[in-house]
Structure 1
């Protein structure tokens, strides 16, 4: 090449030296050969002729890339703040509230769109209204309260809640007002669950996972099952429970039982929590309060036909239909309905609860009866607030309400105990209908987060990939209709895997005294 050309040579990767000079064709050729002319090389090394003699621009050395430690203080602050707000355990209250409000706003828009565009599907709601109409007409014999899909098999609060809906919907002729009510019920329930996530010290990044369930939206605003009321009252009870409002928590739990018996799955964990929180005598008093609430709710029916009420509202012998089950469909119908299967599931349920009670929720397995005797009259030391939960409180800002968590019974122990008891019950239930997903759908993200590997404690939970896959597999299994042997097998294995992770990670035992 004889014409004058501009060439650019780059050398010294660590320093980023750049030379821009006017040379002839030998530069282009040498560049292709992977070497620079001696004149340029010598000038770059500070030897030979001056750059002005070569007709070159002065040498320029680009600044080295800053390390993380050398970054501007503002960028360091932004990075750390973002991590604490979204990924860190127990984020600051304002950061958590910001994410929660944005998540609820997005969920409200999504729910409104679903109500407007997706058609309602009738399953049991009309039956609820017909049963409530029978009560409004003066019927007090529970065996005679019936609807299109069968007799009333729920406690009395179920009827009281649906009685106003008879007028609101014009006896089922106009369902849009009821759908709007259930949409508000759904959003209120989400807010309560987010409050529990905050009390458990979870990162804000978990909150968006609460609003993406197709099946959960359907249960609330497209089917309007009474399970929605049970879930709301249970979560409200837990909100009071983590704040040590024992009477209010017990009353709300009993109200949840007054809608549907499914809340009984959490009774073992609730009993342990009350015993650890207030001792045996106060626990018995609270148990009597829960029983009294049930009697008062059913009193109009108990006074007239007591046997019919208890036989209908609390029928423990009732068997669910195989055709609607999402669970254990991989069993043949003969095996599914056999008494032997029922006994095996009941034994496994009771055995796993006993294992968790003695080794995870308490230390009876290690200390024996002495552990119980030390807490017979309440927490050791009377719940001295100077005893703190060292692990969880290290993440909390000063003056946070959670700084007052007592070491004897941290909030996360209560939450994970109830969530785990509920999951154990669902894992070994013979039949799960589609609406039963509302019993634990909002618990799954938190339980998967809690089932992590904790190196500091030497606890081996589940790897991240499995914890991310479990919610997807569980949601997919509940969205397959009708269920198949493979979908029910995936669901059951996912439940067992999550229980195994919770057992190994042990989120309820990190701070026990």
Structure 2
């Protein structure tokens, strides 16, 4: 190929790049178009890496539970298997055994917990990995505009604080849950079940997702395979808890899965407006449990239908993907043949410098005779056939909503929310709010109001009441929309019949 032709091709590629990417429309799409989130993912992660490093370098670390975690791990590593004897400065150990294994590893890596700075950088890695997993799911759904994610992620003081400055175990548990959720969405059920059970083995709050995961199992796998997956989850708990279950089983179960544990009123984010006596009242706790069950029952049927439709679409995907792949292979072969033919023709028709000089002179003479507007007729090239693309993964919307919703109900009905508990549902809030039919500005107001409440330290009567108001408004909007969509679907089915 002649050098002039190479230059022309290179210039054409540059022009094509400029037309495609260096435009106002493309910039707008990066901000507002949900399908551009995957394109932005690594830019977001890089910016978050820089921001978190800056936080670690510039902001003083605040000790809360890290030393206590290390003390509990030290007791375990010294041979203590009685959970009632594993304690730290903040009290007895109240987390399942996989927490001990994870933090014992951190104990060794950070020189018995003394190298806090290294632990902070490890938690930055945990944060970035979890954020990537969240963005991966959101990219599949093509539902949330990138600017919503960017605003939520970059402006959350509390979330950056929890990861980079506090070193709580909640982020580790949530990381394992999002690994499991990504595996479930990729239909890797067994590995997903193992990861889900390990997440429960770090902190018990992951069980808030359990009703949704159970429905996902049943609708996607059937009852027999659901029993198999539940058995895998149970087996994982038995394996990681074996050293304690074989020695002090009662102490282990009571210590790590204590549902009746009383939280301290001074740390509560959501019930500051209650006095301490009411906050610790057993009847109040029972009332919240009853409310939790009622709300789960209210959303159970529509959530089950969402999961069922998700499973049907995945079945269709399995049927159509081989056919689509075969069609695309044929199209690729056809395009390749056309390109080879075009290249061969171009090589045959390549002219010498003398011929080119004559053609330029001839063209100049024609322009002088007939004017610049005279143009040679353009031949219309046959367009290349386009590859078949169906974004099957968009059906992930039908699974994520009920999973996030059922966990959100658990958060709303929690007896107490501590500051680190924000991680339990923070990454699902943009998705939940964007499912509602509220105006965009109101959705953003809800997100920022919730962030405001979590940033009040200590919490106030106003911040606690406002948090409940935001939760209830969001929950009402989701339930109303989910029932509306089910109603519309039934109407369509009736018309078709």
**TM interval, short-chain normalised:** 0.7 to 0.9
**Distance of 1:106 and 1:157 partners within structure 2:** 32
Partner in structure 2 of residue 198 of structure 1: 139
Partner in structure 2 of residue 24 of structure 1: none
What does the per-residue CA deviation read over 1:421-459, in whole Å, with 9 as the maximum and x for residues that have no partner?
1110010111001110011111112222222xxxxxxxx
What does the per-residue CA deviation read over 1:68-107, in whole Å, with 9 as the maximum and x for residues that have no partner?
xxxxxx6999455445443234x1xxx4333111111111
Q: Which has the larger radius of gyration?
A: 1
* Offset at residue 350 of structure 1 (A): 0.6
Please, what TM-score do these two structures have when normalized by structure 2?
Answer: 0.76
Q: Which protein has the bigger helix share?
A: 2
**Distance of 2:481 and 2:111 partners within structure 1:** 51
Greater alpha carbon shift after TM alignment, 426-435 vs 240-249: 240-249
CA, structure 1 residues 404+156, in 2 after alignment: closer, same or farther (shift >3 Å)? closer
Partner in structure 2 of residue 450 of structure 1: 435
* Offset at residue 287 of structure 1 (A): 0.6
Any idea what SS the aligned residue of 1:362 has?
A: helix
The answer on 1:284 being equivalent to 2:227 is yes
* Offset at residue 189 of structure 1 (A): 0.8
Which one scores higher on RCO, CA 8 angstroms, separation ≥ 6?
2
CA, structure 1 residues 404+231, in 2 after alignment: closer, same or farther (shift >3 Å)? closer
* Offset at residue 272 of structure 1 (A): 0.8
**Distance of 2:23 and 2:156 partners within structure 1:** 32
Aligned 8 A contact 1:120 1:223 in 2: yes
Aligned 8 A contact 2:37 2:135 in 1: no
* Offset at residue 505 of structure 1 (A): 2.5
Aligned 8 A contact 1:157 1:259 in 2: yes
Partner in structure 2 of residue 249 of structure 1: 192
Please, what TM-score do these two structures have when normalized by structure 1?
Answer: 0.74
Equivalent residue in structure 2 for 1:440, among 414, 419, 425: 425
What aligned pairs does 1:407-486 form with structure 2 within 5 A after superposition? 410-451=395-436, 461-486=437-462
**Distance of 1:312 and 1:154 partners within structure 2:** 7
CA, structure 1 residues 400+131, in 2 after alignment: closer, same or farther (shift >3 Å)? farther
Partner in structure 2 of residue 231 of structure 1: 174
Partner in structure 1 of residue 391 of structure 2: 402
CA, structure 1 residues 313+129, in 2 after alignment: closer, same or farther (shift >3 Å)? same
Partner in structure 2 of residue 151 of structure 1: 92
The answer on 1:385 being equivalent to 2:317 is yes
CA, structure 1 residues 145+386, in 2 after alignment: closer, same or farther (shift >3 Å)? closer
* Cα RMSD after superposing both structures: 2.8
What does the per-residue CA deviation read over 1:273-314, in whole Å, with 9 as the maximum and x for residues that have no partner?
111111111111101110110010011111111111111111
CA, structure 1 residues 324+84, in 2 after alignment: closer, same or farther (shift >3 Å)? same
**Distance of 1:191 and 1:225 partners within structure 2:** 20
The answer on 1:493 being equivalent to 2:469 is yes
Aligned 8 A contact 1:279 1:379 in 2: no
Equivalent residue in structure 2 for 1:115, among 46, 53, 56: 56
**Distance of 1:511 and 1:224 partners within structure 2:** 46
Q: Give 5+ residue unaligned stretches, structure 2.
A: 1-18, 321-385
Greater alpha carbon shift after TM alignment, 487-496 vs 99-108: 99-108
Aligned length: 405
Partner in structure 2 of residue 274 of structure 1: 217
Partner in structure 1 of residue 149 of structure 2: 207
Aligned 8 A contact 1:256 1:263 in 2: yes
Q: Give 5+ residue unaligned stretches, structure 1.
A: 1-73, 365-370, 389-396, 452-460
**Distance of 1:511 and 1:437 partners within structure 2:** 34
